[in-house]
Amino acid sequence: GQNIDQPTEMTATEGAIVQINCTYQTSGFNGLFWYQQHAGEAPTFLSYNVLDGLEEKGRFSSFLSRSKGYSYLLLKELQMKDSASYLCAVRDSNYQLIWGAGTKLIIKP
Amino acid sequence: IAGITQAPTSQILAAGRRMTLRCTQDMRHNAMYWYRQDLGLGLRLIHYSNTAGTTGKGEVPDGYSVSRANTDDFPLTLASAVPSQTSVYFCASSRRGSTDTQYFGPGTRLTVL
């Protein structure tokens, strides 16, 4: 079967750095997405990786290793507004998105 | 402002009733999707449409139907609601189809009693 694994919850301190991991086993691979979802709101697109390596976008970076079935989202200079759930999704061989359950990130002052 | 709208925002429904969730986008995106989101589970695809006039089944289509009469609208119908359909429903769209990034509407919180 297809599976996306992420930690359920993480806690970090304002101003610090946090890394949210995502491992996947899917039938084929056509890209990996990270979305941010604040409580009670819609998911919003953060990043997309299809080739191995690091993609940097401001305070957020996303890394992909296709051979290891592994990605991480790195958040720097954490702010209170970064408290949210972070969703990892993989596009499979049928170009359908398979979603992880999400990682709830709690930022403490 | 361009985007996706969903209606209603929330709804409490008696089991056995018929319900249609509305989704409209003004971005002229070709593809549209319906997901449900349940606590502890990832988003699950119910139905999708790659272009107006076509629809397809996702991971959890049973008990739901969709239509795509035009580019902008993609309603989701529950023919006879059951309590297991209690969930948050998100509509999404992407510009060209399954190869593109998906953008989400604000969601509909549905409770079936």
Q: Indicate if the pLDDT at residue A25 is higher than 80.
A: yes
CA distance B12 to chain A (A): 17
Neighbour count for residue B28 (Cβ, 10 Å): 10
Under the banding of pLDDT at 50, 70 and 90, the label for residue B77 is very high
Q: Indicate if the pLDDT at residue B99 is higher than 70.
A: no
**Stretch B77-94: mean pLDDT:** 97
Chain B interface mutation, best of A49, A85, A99, highest count of B Cβ atoms under 10 Å: A99
CA distance A66 to chain B (A): 18
Q: Report pLDDT for B2.
A: 67
CA distance B113 to chain A (A): 21
Under the banding of pLDDT at 50, 70 and 90, the label for residue B93 is very high
Give all strands (DSSP E) within chain B, no chain letters. 4-7, 10-13, 19-25, 31-37, 44-49, 56-57, 64-66, 76-78, 87-94, 103-104, 108-112
Which two tokens mark B93?
A: 């769209």
**Stretch A1-18: mean pLDDT:** 95
Q: How far apart are CA A63 and CA A91, in angstroms?
A: 16
Q: Are the Cβ atoms of A42 and B106 closer than 8 angstroms? A: yes
| In the block, residue with structure tokens 């509305």 | B22
**Stretch B86-103: mean pLDDT:** 88
Q: Are the Cβ atoms of A97 and B102 closer than 8 angstroms? A: yes
List all residues 6 or more positions away from A81 whose beta carbon is below 8 Å from its beta carbon.
Answer: none
The pLDDT tens digits for A48-61 are 999 999 999 999 99
Contacts with A4 from chain B: Cβ below 8 Å? 42
Q: Report pLDDT for B98.
A: 62
The pLDDT tens digits for B1-24 are 569 999 999 999 999 999 999 999
**Stretch B42-49: mean pLDDT:** 94
Q: Report pLDDT for A2.
A: 85
Measured between CB atoms, does B43 come within 8 Å of chain A?
yes
Q: Are the Cβ atoms of B43 and A95 closer than 8 angstroms? A: no
Mean pLDDT of chain B: 94
**Stretch A1-12: mean pLDDT:** 93
The pLDDT tens digits for A28-79 are 999 999 999 999 999 999 999 999 999 999 999 999 999 999 999 999 999 9
The pLDDT tens digits for A72-102 are 999 999 999 999 999 999 998 888 899 999 9
